[in-house]
Structures are given as C-alpha cells and as structure tokens.
Amino acid sequence: MSFKAPLKDMLFNLKHISNIDALSKLPGFEEYGLETAQMVLEECARFNETVLAPLNASADKAPAVFAEHAVKTSEGFKQAYAQYTEGGWQGLQHPMAYGGQNLPKSVGALCSEILNSANLSFALCPLLTDGAIEALLTAGSTEQKETYLHRLVSGEWSGTMNLTEPQAGSDLSLIRTRAEHASDGTYRVFGTKVFITFGEHDLASNIVHMVLARVAGAPDGVKGISLFLVPKFMPMDNGQLGERNDVYCVSLEHKLGIKASPTAVMQFGDHGGAKAFLVGEENRGLEYMFIMMNAARFGVGIQGVALAERAYQKAVNYAKDRVQSRPVDGSQKSAVAIVHHPDVKRMLMTMRAYTQGSRSLAAHAAAAFDIAHNDPDASRRQAHLEQYEFLVPLVKGFSTEMSQWVSSLGVQVHGGMGFIEETGAAQYYRDAKILTIYEGTTAIQANDLLGRKTLRDGGQFARRLSDIIEETLQELGLQSNEDLQVMHAQLTLSKAHFEQAVRFMLEHAKDAPNVVYAGSVPYLMLTSMVVVGWLYAKSMLVSRAQIERFDDVAFYRAKIKTARFFAEHLLTQTGSALHSIVKGAQSVNALAVEDF
C-alpha cells in the first residue's frame, strides 16, 4: 500500500484549529495564508509519497551498517537526503537570514507529520538538526551563527544532541563527560555518549554535535553542566572542511524499531581531546539544551501522530480488501470484506479518532507557538507562550502513547497476517515504542505537566483552560443536533473530572507528594483527553456550519461522526483516570521495595 498524506484533514486543522488566516496577519507570516500553505503541503506530500515512503520498508529490512568508525545508511537514503536538502525542506521553519523560509510552525508541523509518516527513520536526521539550529539561534555567538547556521539550515551539515551517558539516562546530573580549557581559547572534550541519533552517517558532509559536559571546578549536579559545539570536521575560514576532530562513532545499537536510523555510541577525546566551542555561558548548558529538548519533544509528538496515520491507512486498506465471514446481521449470504464487521469498525474508528484528535492537539499547540513568537502585543505573546508550554507535554506524552495503541490495533485488524513482518503492520508497532521513551519518557512529560505547568502557578493556567473549554460548551449547548449534544454531555462531565483532578493535586502536593505523583501519568492522559475532546467539539461546530452550507457534506459529516465516537468511546476514560488519581495512590505505593 502506498502512503497518501491526509491533506484534507490537515487543511481543516490549519484553517479551523490553527486559524491560518489570523496567523498570516502576524509580522513575518504575511505571505503564508491558506492558499500558500496548501501549495507547500501538496508539494511536501508529493515529495514524501514518491521519494521517501517507498524506502520505509526496505530500509527497515536493511538498516545502516557500521565499519571502522563510519556508517553507511540504508540504500536510497543518501540520494533522498540530497533531494530533501535541494528542495529546501530542512529550512522550512528557520529564519530567512540564514537561508530558511520562516514558515509558521502551524504549517511546518504538518510538513513534519508528512515526512515522519513517509519514513520515520529518515526523518530523525532533520529533527535533530532542527534542535541544534534552535540552540544556536538562542545561545550561539555571532561567529558560531555565521559559521554553522547557514549550513545547518540548508541541510548541508546535520546536527545531533549528545546528552545521555551509560551511567546517566534521564538524570543528567550524573553526566561525567568533561571539558578542559585549551590554550587557544577553546576547550577539549573527553567522554562517552550513548543513544546518539544519526551521530555518524554518510548523508551530510559534516556533523555538528551539541554536547553536554562539565568544566573542571563546575558545581555538582545539573547546575554545573555546560553546552559545547563539537564539529566532526573543523570548518576553515574559506568555508571548506579542515581536519577531522577527535570524535568517533564506536558502535551502533541494535534496536526494536526505527532500525534505519543509526543510533550511535560516540567517543570524544581518545586521541588528545575533541576540540569544542562553548555555546553561551559556562554552567548554563542544561538551560540551552532544554531549548533543543522542547523543540524535539514537540517534534516527537508529531512523530506519534504521523506513525498513527500510517498504521491507520494500512489497516483501512487491508480491511477493505480482506474478505472473511458473513455479516452478523445476515444481510449477505457470502463472506464480505472485514471492514463490514462491527468490531473491525470499532477498531478503525478508534484509530481514526485518536489520530485525528492528536493532529488537532498539535495544530492548536503550533498556533499558540506562532502567536507567542510573532504577535506584536506582549501580553498576547506571554499568554500564548504559557499555553504552548502547557500543551507540549500533552503533545509529546499523549500522542506517543496513542501511537502505540493505534499501531497495535493496526496489527489486530490484520489478524495473524499483522504478526508477519512481510505485511508491514508490525513495523509501525515496533517503531512506535521508542516514541514514548526518547526526549523524555511519558512519566517525565507527566511530571513536567504536573510540577512545572500545574503546581508551580497554583493551577492558574489549568483554570483558564477550563474557562476556555466552558465557552465552547456554552456554544455547543445551543445546538439541537444529537451528535453535538452527545459531545456536550460527555465533555461537560470530563471537564469536571479535570477540574477535580487539579484541585486534588493542589491540595495534596505539599503534604503528600508521593500520592500526587502516583497519579501524574493518569493526570496527563485525563488532561490530554479533555483538550482533544474540546478541539473535537470545536470541529463539530465548524462542520455543522459547513454542512448547512452544503460544503463537502461527506467530509464534514464524517468529522462529526468521528467526534461523536471519541466522546462515547474514548473521552469516557476521564472518569477512570480521575479515580486512579484520587483513589489509587495507596495501591501504587503499597509494596515495599523488597517485595517486588
């Protein structure tokens, strides 16, 4: 089955959730109205459907190969990367001053979804480069920006994030990589980094490593971490590449999924020290790295949506082709395609509702980012920045967990054939698992949502969010349509569950932190479901109005029916999540460590 980008649903979200017409009035975005955005998405779809999607399965079967510190990527990747960079796709969202196109994140996120749907392993290289660009834009010196940004934005060079070490997973306070002052005013870095995505490859002519390390005498813990730029090859003043730096890939990991993405073990400084350049100030590295991390976390959430879309498309096509069993209602005497069977429809509707709902969540977050960074009004910028930061753990945590549920159902729709690698459904299931782990596990996203985004401001933004949802509920309550009334009833109940969860967290965070944090992941899921439900409610209102205008009635009717399914089958989970939060901590913490 060939992949087809879901352009119609994407454009729906761009117009009605991201509100591209309003965004195109912001300074810097004047050229990116709906018509231009549609042209960009259509060209993005054409490139990915024809160039990258056909490489997805073959690269999974024949992944990157490591030999003598070098990595040869899967067949076709190098040629595809050349076309990717020639098309300017790496620079979509980056500043024009460095060769980018400065597209709104609302458009760029949809292009990223198409790329990741087409070929998740390939897409990880551009994702990491985006993070390096963001870090340099924020903290890089003028010289660093001039030397590196043009080439990173063009894709001529790629970037990496080097955080994790064998003894330090998510706890970066434990890192041991050290940086020593050198006589030439630079630094020398020594240490080992693991799980480095595209740490070595043959796609770009140079690789720019962003590395966390400690300078001698730095404070203990995270306050003593600095960020360094360590190029694979040293750039020369004439723009050419000079000597090879003392940084080498020493092995590749053998993984469950994303097999075509080389995940490297990197060794710095075995031959005298890797020449490194301090980014920003000493001991502020974690602050700068979080800029990369937050960009990557949103990007990984997009990967979740993308993978779910790919799994859904494959399942739908198989269900329409696979003939098995007569209908339970006796309407036909011979076997029919399994898409006619109620439980297969239930699985497909679940996949569809989660995927389209998560796409709306990402679209809403991306629009908040665009306003936060481009609106002339400072108060609007701040309000939307708070909104975006609140939504990032939802986009990352919920959308990646969702991709596992959806890709698992994709295997189930295929039945026994789904368990056979040749059909392709299993690849999406295998690829999905890592999304809940890298760039911060689901628990880390949940702790961020609870600690930094809910407790820190005393629940102020959470209450504002509830008020915003209430406005939509008031509008929904005026509708006589049965589908909209079903959503109104369930979203009203689920919003109350959210409010009760927030009150519980605020009341018990100080005196019983173990109780509160035992429910952090259920809180993330509850909050995400409520926000997705709210966005579905808004979509229903738009769709109802479009139907009354006789505009693409089949599409908008399907949007309403999908939203109702979400309300009746998925949004109902907020009640059980609330019970886990309020009543479930005792059993979570019941066993002593030695009893496990």
DSSP string, 570-592: ITTHHHHHHHHHHH-HHHHT-S-
CATH number attached to the domain at 7-151? 1.10.540.10
d(CA 5, CA 65): 30
Distance CA 90, CA 81 (A): 10
Q: CA-based Rg of the chain, rounded to a whole angstrom?
A: 24
431 within 8 A of 261, measured Cβ to Cβ: no
- Do the beta carbons of residue 132 and residue 208 sit within 8 Å? yes
pLDDT at 243: 97
Q: Give the 3-state DSSP-derived string for 397-445, with helices as H, strands as E and coil as C.
A: HHHHHHHHHHHHHHHHHHHHHHHCHHHCHHHHHHHHHHHHCCCCCHHHH
Listed by start position, the domains of the chain span: 7-151, 157-283, 450-590
281 Ramachandran zone, left/alpha/beta (phi>0; psi -120 to 50): beta
Contact (CB, 8 A) for 530 and 352: no
Number of neighbours of residue 356 by Cβ within 10 angstroms: 27
DSSP codes, 212-261: EEEETTPPSGGGG-EEEEEESEEEPTTS-EEEEPSEEEEEE---SS-TTS
Structural tokens at position 213 = 């390390």
185: left (phi over 0), alpha (psi -120 to 50) or beta: left
pLDDT of residue 167: 85
| The domain made up of 157-283 is a member of CATH 2.30.30.140 | no
> Which tokens sit at 545?
């109005």
Closest CA to 385 of 370, 399, 395, 397: 370
Active site residues: 439
C-alpha to C-alpha distance for 408 and 350, rounded to whole angstroms:
11
Closest CA to 69 of 214, 222, 219, 252: 252
Please choose, from the candidates 85, 239, 74, 242, the residue with its C-alpha nearest in 3D space to the C-alpha of residue 153: 85
Provide the sign of the torsion angle of the four alpha carbons 577, 578, 580, 581, taken in this order.
Answer: positive
> Encoding tokens for residue 443?
């628990």
Residue whose structure tokens are 């990352």: 396
Structure tokens at 97: 């001053």
Residue pointed to by tokens 């020369």: 236
Q: How far apart are the first and last CA of the chain?
A: 46
Angle in degrees, 0-180, between the axes of helices 285-321 and 425-433, rounded to the nearest 10: 160
Query: CB-hemisphere CA count at 13 Å for 536?
Result: 35
Q: How many residues does the chain have?
A: 596
Q: What pLDDT does 519 receive?
A: 98
User: Which phi and psi angles does 306 have, rounded to 5°?
Assistant: -65, -45
Find out whether 350 and 572 touch, Cβ atoms under 8 Å. no
- Distance, in Å, from the CA atom of 333 to the CA atom of 195, rounded to the nearest integer, reads 55
Q: Per the structure block, which two tokens stand in for 338? A: 């399994």
pLDDT in tens, the chain (596 residues): 589 999 999 999 999 999 999 999 999 999 999 999 999 999 999 999 999 999 999 999 999 999 999 999 999 999 999 999 999 999 999 999 999 999 999 999 999 999 999 999 999 999 999 999 999 999 999 999 999 999 999 999 999 999 999 887 677 778 899 999 999 999 999 999 999 999 999 999 999 999 999 998 999 888 999 999 999 999 998 879 999 999 999 999 999 999 999 999 999 999 999 999 999 999 999 888 887 788 889 999 999 999 999 999 999 999 999 999 999 999 999 999 999 999 999 999 999 999 999 999 999 999 999 999 999 999 999 999 999 999 999 999 999 999 999 999 999 999 999 999 999 999 999 999 999 999 999 999 999 999 999 999 999 999 999 999 999 999 999 999 999 999 999 999 999 999 999 999 999 999 999 999 999 999 999 999 999 999 999 999 999 999 999 889 999 999 999 999 999 999 999 999 999 999 999 999 999 999 99
